[in-house]
Structure 1
């Protein structure tokens, strides 16, 4: 992600983005299971507009650089502001190597197309940048070892250290490596269990694992370390805080020259006692644009929106939009009936509905589909008269299918700002990495590249950093 061309500084961009997001916080502030609160907060001009929208117009709306006739003033201003704040990102040329693309082995065929695509593209990109300058690759969150294996097939001179927190995955990765790679290569790949952080003891453990791997290859002596081995840090689906820890390790370990990390699952970032995220905002530029109290509004629903699927999958026929809006509205309606100490869970998925019930769910249908539970004990509870009263009030307020149509309108608005939300999160990290490098007097080049087809992989942007 990057600075839009209409801005000359990150400070000005973050201030404008925060001001905009503050004004439209009702779009993302609540989880979609509580979307009735968002619908209540939706301005009347937006409601009236979306209730009259054709399916073609609904499909076009999130694509803010495409012209859309008939928008009222407030809605038009919203789309123009999103276009102003969202960078236009071009798809990078495909770099996947033929050796990977044509791999039709049994273990590759069993992989989902999404994972195959991600591994092929990321491995090829890493190899393109690192083949002539990297001896050791450290794969953070290595999982079952697919990325490490793909890289080794591109260059069997790599030494690869895979680090994974899940012990079962480490064991599986070791077994896969023994079974799928030739015996002479077994000394070149090592999988170790480690929960990766940027703490000094974690850096020491990584150094120890790397040294043991290098010694098995005869590249170091008993007294030597790996400080002379040019190293690259990589990671596919660096969930939650892992990508930030990877950035800090990149800066703090002298022999690490390159970083290729694909962040994801921003909503899983660790929280402080106050309820804000430990690692958002990070950069001075974004922190200065956001007050301490305001940071609370950039909550898990905001982060979840930033990492949900992009608008590349938004366009569909009217029936699918209707079905999705109805599902979301009915789920939110059931949640809105609960007392503060109650919750609902879906108990039946395939109840038959006619079209009128889909648009205007009956109270009996809600009772049949959702089970009421106690939040404290988890025990099932009976629906009561007070729930039916709330149901009548809510369905009266959003009668004639308005609830379902406005629920899908809210999804449309979320799809419209999704890339902006993700850009704020990821550009904050880029600025933070540059700020820390400057403090340490390190010359670095940092950028994001769009490597993947976002229809297959919504998290398609990889952070690439290199020490110069």
Structure 2
């Protein structure tokens, strides 16, 4: 269920969500790296905060602070929150034997079992895996059921590795599990249907699935589901909403339902529901780190951003994980990694006066562009109260995340219903401590 019990209609729910998001705009309307540049933490005014142990593992905003600011925030959340109930632990009959982490094994095995059950209920003998990656889900599903699987992957390297793994370890599945290098779009339906006829001539009803359907991929999967006559069921796990395609300031596939579109236009939604909002919707609330560690990461990166801003530069990452925070016990460790290998400062303007920067000057600047003494002084200039406000900020984001994500997913659910698919719901599959992504969209077409 995605409509909280406090509301009689979707329109009423969306309107109150807009009121709540507007009131706490500072929590969801900016990049976390810019909280010191924008003075975001100044919006948190809680009496006696300096005397509270916010880092205690038993501390919560709900009962840890007796203050109007916090009380109003928690009361608003209570009205907007949706409970998905407890996760039912599932064990797949086939173990995933692959060199992957515990989290990945848990996700693949759990989703494979859910897909297996859905196929049994609705009589599907073929699965289309959108964004099939290295094919882990496909192989464990085939070994458990013997059903056909068509894996579609747009990343050429992932596709090639999936084929290679199949040849080496799963050669028994060569006729039943087919991998194709294909980017799924809303217009992919006919091509996919032709592929099914080519490879699985006598196939029956089809189930469409996807694990970690990044950006628009879950929406594209919904479109294929509508257009394919043989598609009976859909089970997608969306993620990375902030990577959805945009035109100007608006997302192409949000909002989707007629109800939210009307509210969105009345409330100038593009002013509020931008990339930071979508990033928060995809933000994992459980990452195995303590609140103190998260505050350290947040403030360290924010100090680096402020330093760059005051020096009329931007921060450029040299690698995916610019700083390995787990190896940082102090801010000194952080800036040493950041300055030596993690980040580069790039001037906002590529010229000084009328003269462009020479290659030699730019190379010198990229190597010697951090003043560590100034970074240390900037870090030390912030009192402990500022760090405690950063902790409250993180707690507020963690509490808002399920509300923000439900707002987005409920829009998709209403869209499905408007398109005539009444049998649809969002269901929680994974335990939050074991996977950052928990919610799946499940839909089935009515049969005559």
Query: Which bracket does the TM-score occupy, shorter chain normalised?
Result: 0.7 to 0.9
Corresponding residue number in structure 1 for 2:231: 256
2:166 aligned with 1:193: no
2:428 aligned with 1:428: no
Corresponding residue number in structure 2 for 1:153: 143
Corresponding residue number in structure 2 for 1:4: 4
Greater shift, 84-93 or 120-129, is seen at 84-93
Q: Pick from 398, 421, 432: which aligns with 1:454?
A: 432
1:141-187 per-residue CA deviation (whole Å, 9 max, x = no partner) reads 1111111111101111x11111111222222212222222244x321
TM-score (norm 1): 0.81
Q: Is the CA contact 2:134–2:159 (under 8 Å) kept in the aligned structure 1?
A: yes
Structure-to-structure mapping, 1:207-226, within 5 angstroms: 207-215=193-201, 219=202
Partner Cα separation in structure 2 for residue 140 and residue 346 of structure 1: 30
Q: Is the CA contact 1:338–1:344 (under 8 Å) kept in the aligned structure 2?
A: no
Secondary structure of 1:245's counterpart equals: helix
Secondary structure of 1:195's counterpart equals: coil
Corresponding residue number in structure 2 for 1:440: none
Corresponding residue number in structure 2 for 1:127: 116
Size of the alignment, in residue pairs? 424
1:54-100 per-residue CA deviation (whole Å, 9 max, x = no partner) reads 136685335xxxx5154211221111111211112212312222x23
1:346-377 per-residue CA deviation (whole Å, 9 max, x = no partner) reads 7896999997x77xx99x99988965322465
Corresponding residue number in structure 1 for 2:354: none
Q: CA 1:288–1:350 in structure 2 vs 1: closer, same or farther (change >3 Å)?
A: closer
Partner Cα separation in structure 2 for residue 191 and residue 344 of structure 1: 39
1:177-201 per-residue CA deviation (whole Å, 9 max, x = no partner) reads 2222244x321111111110112xx
Corresponding residue number in structure 2 for 1:330: 303
Secondary structure of 1:68's counterpart equals: helix
Structure-to-structure mapping, 1:381-460, within 5 angstroms: 399-437=382-420, 443-460=421-438
Greater shift, 297-306 or 174-183, is seen at 174-183
Deviation, structure 1 residue 305: 1.0
Structure 2: gaps (5+ residues) = 351-356
Corresponding residue number in structure 1 for 2:14: 14
2:263 aligned with 1:267: no
Deviation, structure 1 residue 50: 4.1
Q: Is the CA contact 1:61–1:416 (under 8 Å) kept in the aligned structure 2?
A: no
Deviation, structure 1 residue 34: 0.6
Instruction: Give the aligned CA root-mean-square deviation in angstroms.
Output: 3.4
Partner Cα separation in structure 2 for residue 139 and residue 406 of structure 1: 44
Corresponding residue number in structure 2 for 1:222: none
Deviation, structure 1 residue 395: 7.2
Structure 1: gaps (5+ residues) = 220-225, 438-442
1:258-280 per-residue CA deviation (whole Å, 9 max, x = no partner) reads 001100110100001x2211111
Structure-to-structure mapping, 1:297-376, within 5 angstroms: 297-310=272-285, 312-313=286-287, 316=290, 318=292, 320=293, 323-339=296-312, 342-345=313-316, 371-375=344-348
1:83-136 per-residue CA deviation (whole Å, 9 max, x = no partner) reads 211112212312222x23xx263x2xx111111001000000110121350122
Secondary structure of 2:134's counterpart equals: coil
Q: CA 1:161–1:338 in structure 2 vs 1: closer, same or farther (change >3 Å)?
A: same
Q: Pick from 257, 260, 263: which aligns with 1:289?
A: 263
Structure-to-structure mapping, 1:91-170, within 5 angstroms: 91-97=86-92, 99-100=93-94, 103=95, 105=97, 107=98, 110-131=99-120, 133-156=123-146, 158-170=147-159
TM-score (norm 2): 0.84
Q: Is the CA contact 2:218–2:238 (under 8 Å) kept in the aligned structure 1?
A: yes
